[in-house]
Structure 1
Amino acid sequence: MYKNPRIGGFPRDRRLCYFAPAMRFHAFVVLASLVLCLSLPLRAAESSVDPFAPYLTGRPPEILRDVPDNSPPPEGVSVRRVVFRSRENAEIFAVIVTPKTAGPHPGMLVLHGGGGSAEIDKAIAWGQRGYVAVAPDLPGIANPQKLTETKGRWNTMKYGEGRYVASPDATASLLFDAVLSAMQSLYLLRVQPDVDTKRIGVVGISWGGYMTTMVCGLAGDQVRAGFAIFGCGFYELTSQQPTLLKMPLEERERWLRDLDAGRRAPGIKAVFFTAGAANDFFFWPPAVQATLDAIPGTKNHLFAPNANHKVPLPGGTVFPKASSDPFVPTPFQPFPTPSGSKANWLAMEVPYFDYYLNGKGQPLPVVTVEKENNPLSARFDIASPRPIAKVEVYWSLPGDWMKRNWQALPISKLSDDRFEVSFPTEAAEGADWFVVASDDRPVTVSSDFMHIGKPAKTPEHPAP
């Protein structure tokens, strides 16, 4: 039994599972490179200068103007809409939300997903909970038709264009502009009055989850906690394999080196959480697990079984329906609006950041799988400061990630925090599995993505 299911159809050496995280990460990348022909070493003649280096100054961008807004002001916060200058005279819109209570406050950078734009409602929700929040437009990830104030070369392009290019270098990609906008927004957040720069969080979904990983990797100790939903790195292990393979070899190497979030993950110094969907159309579980393996510090995660870009688990994307009763303030929802999915992508973002940025509450559970000699049996421990409400183990035979049927298995409870599971004999030839555990808050976590038997080649799913 060993981690990381399959890389282009070749079994991974079982011994890799027991290496230190850094060694396991390097071995994973080397094997993936050989099989997929995507991340070969760059030629010695190519410059090793990081294209982001000139921009990682820590200085906030120049604010060019304020954007007027006539909508009713939200309760408990002040909202400022600004446009700041990015590279080559590009203009980026961002919203800055500040609590009306006395500081210092933790800070939150909110990063939208593909096709979206600045997440104003979510920034307001974080502000109402006592965070100073900044939510920018991210060109290259945003839908250009939604960018009324954000101006640049992307305005003449269709949504999705200009991402997978790195010639003559990575600055040619619109993703470079997106990452730069996010980093400049982080610097803008850190200089806001009453922000405690030792308590900065970053949260984002899908492409914004990719961006969360990138920002945390580039920012190092300037971020205390990150929470990536679906998005990750190691794009050669995602549905983007065909797109990457269409790129010329040297350009593809350059793109992966400079713009792939997995290659930036070793720079993450923040505590980090990734929420993955086991049937995701874009971010496949091997890519999520490889990204986690590359993060050197404290990390946690979940995999949602039989889910595609959703987390229908306790603390996930399912929110209680709004009540018609008189509103009762709570720490999660201090004001009536925004609420539900308008306030957060996952409900468990709130207790996660409250613990790491405010020192409130308790840490999330942690699931650890024990090494076993029997490939059809596994034991695992759940360390949790709160009662565990539900534990499940899901397994699946190989196949298209979107079409996998994850089946729950019976579990034996050996003690309060130790469990055992047995797998059907058909799993011996190759199967993937993971643990899902929820506590009473509710929040949900998972074990690492595990594999037993001989891996088979995963059918490629066409790029969206």
Structure 2
Amino acid sequence: MKKLIFLLLVSIQLLHAQKKSVPVINDKVIKVDTLLWDMKALSKAPEIEWLNKTGNVYSLFYKGVDYNGKPTQVFAYYSNPDLILGKTQSKTKFPGVVLLHGGGGKAFKEWVEKWAAEGYAAIAMDFSGKQNDVKTYTMPGPEQGDLDKFLKLETGSDLKNMWTYQAVANAILAHSLLLSFPEVETTKTCLTGISWGGYLTCLVGSLDNRFKAAVPVYGCAFYDESDIFKVPLAKLSPAVRKKWMKYFDPSSYMPYAKPQFLFVNGNKDRFYNVIPYDKTYKLIPEAQRSMCLIPDMKHGHEVGWEPHEIRYFFENVINQTAPLSKVKQIVMKDSSLTASYSSPVSLRTADFYYSNDTTSLNENRVWSSKKVQIDSKTKTLYCPVPKERFKYGFFYLKDHRNVSASSEFIIN
């Protein structure tokens, strides 16, 4: 009898452990006149169906938000440091990361593996409407073409049937699901996304203030100023375009963001060009943002998740490890450029990249570079102003960890 009571108590304790309390998003800090998303509803962990719980990465469906009045299911991959090593679940708690793919992408198993190997419980979900390696996907949401992202709004489509509404809601639900897992440390969750996933990171990181750190790669706000995305937006009537910008451009929400942000991009990205990118990161308070502009960075999923600066940034925010280097005050005189910097590790190299090309599209802009003198005693960077002057410029640093950082764009 005593043994039966003991087993019953253990079962009850395990049941309570599985019903872990999930933090609720504080929507009161998001001071917009109309908030499309129901943050309290999205703060609840969705129902799930495990498809595969073998191997080092699990696959699942979770219940998404309704689309065209019908229920949806979202495909996702999940792993953590125990699973990636083939171990049974331990009592160890891990930080968490939510991974948002870009256009033409899907839930990437390899991306989840990478972050689980880095020590994180990681979840990546599919925003394409049909994961091509899932045999049964009976309740998909919208697909990720221009029709669902932009053009349907012109036909009077409900805002909640637009791709952005659906993707943001389902990303937040993935975070709520992650937070419900007993092995995830609820005060140490992070977010990163690539390209359109970077755009979503700007949105989700601004709306879901349970995240501690967010890293949009490439993606930014001010879509009506993008070399590429202003084209489908221009197909909308002025009133509808204004409506899209109000509800779906990250500029509407980023002033209310609470996580620490690291902005990662190249200087020649095809989709996210200098001017709107510069305006985007300035929506986040200076003390809350860090920069990593990587010269000539290519555009893609693999190159987008490759920078190890993302992990160093997360670790600094959630575990107070050594931060990335940071370029501070920049002073330009007639013949010289100087900047102060902070770095926990000695700098190995510093360069100044600049361009006077104001006529080319961002991806075709011609850039030059100069070596920068590093004064490690005064923590000062120095280089002569190029004889031909410059329209756009930035400092790029690497320390002895081989971790890079940059200044923000200098725009004259």
Instruction: Please give the residue correspondences for 1:332-351 in structure 2 after superposition, counting only pairs within 5 Å.
Output: 344-351=305-312
1:60 to 2:49 alignment: no
1:231 to 2:219 alignment: yes
Answer whether contact 2:265 2:297 (CA < 8 A) is retained. no
SS at match of 1:114: coil
Aligned pair partner of 1:299 in 289, 292, 298: 289
Question: 2:238 matched to which residue of 1?
Answer: 249
SS at match of 1:295: coil
Pairwise CA distance, 1:298 = 1.4
Answer whether contact 1:110 1:135 (CA < 8 A) is retained. yes
- Cα 1:160–1:151 change in 2 (3 A) is farther
Answer whether contact 2:44 2:176 (CA < 8 A) is retained. yes
Give distance in 1, aligned partners of 2:134 and 2:279.
33
- Cα 1:365–1:134 change in 2 (3 A) is same
SS at match of 1:215: helix
Please give the TM-score of this superposition, normalised by the length of structure 1: 0.72
1:408 to 2:369 alignment: yes
Answer whether contact 1:390 1:438 (CA < 8 A) is retained. yes
* Paired residue type of 1:431: K
- Give a deviation string over 1:347-395, Cα, whole Å, max 9, x none: 2222222222234x410000123344x3553210120000111100011
* Paired residue type of 2:317: Y
Give distance in 1, aligned partners of 2:364 and 2:79.
41
**Unaligned regions of 5+ residues in structure 2, if any?**
1-31, 83-89
Answer whether contact 1:277 1:310 (CA < 8 A) is retained. no
Instruction: Please give the residue correspondences for 1:63-82 in structure 2 after superposition, counting only pairs within 5 Å.
Output: 63=48, 65-68=49-52, 73-74=55-56, 79-82=58-61
Question: 1:364 matched to which residue of 2?
Answer: 324
Give distance in 1, aligned partners of 2:336 and 2:138.
57
Give distance in 2, aligned partners of 1:383 and 1:255.
40
Aligned pair partner of 1:420 in 379, 382, 394: 382
The sequence identity of aligned pairs, in percent, is 23
With 376-385 and 270-279 compared, the bigger mean Cα shift is at 376-385
- Cα 1:225–1:386 change in 2 (3 A) is same
Aligned length: 363
Question: 1:391 matched to which residue of 2?
Answer: 350
SS at match of 1:302: strand
1:440 to 2:400 alignment: yes
Instruction: Please give the residue correspondences for 1:185-196 in structure 2 after superposition, counting only pairs within 5 Å.
Output: 185-196=174-185
SS at match of 1:204: strand
Please give the TM-score of this superposition, normalised by the length of structure 2: 0.80
Give distance in 2, aligned partners of 1:266 and 1:150.
37
Aligned pair partner of 2:71 in 80, 83, 89: 89
**Unaligned regions of 5+ residues in structure 1, if any?**
1-46, 318-340, 453-464
SS at match of 1:197: strand
Give distance in 2, aligned partners of 1:127 and 1:307.
25
Question: 1:216 matched to which residue of 2?
Answer: 205
RMSD over equivalenced CA pairs, Å? 2.7
Question: 2:96 matched to which residue of 1?
Answer: 107
Answer whether contact 1:84 1:92 (CA < 8 A) is retained. yes
Pairwise CA distance, 1:151 = 4.8
SS at match of 2:307: coil
Q: Which has the higher contact order (CA 8 A, sep 6+)?
A: 1
Question: 2:149 matched to which residue of 1?
Answer: 163
Question: 2:314 matched to which residue of 1?
Answer: 353
Question: 1:38 matched to which residue of 2?
Answer: none
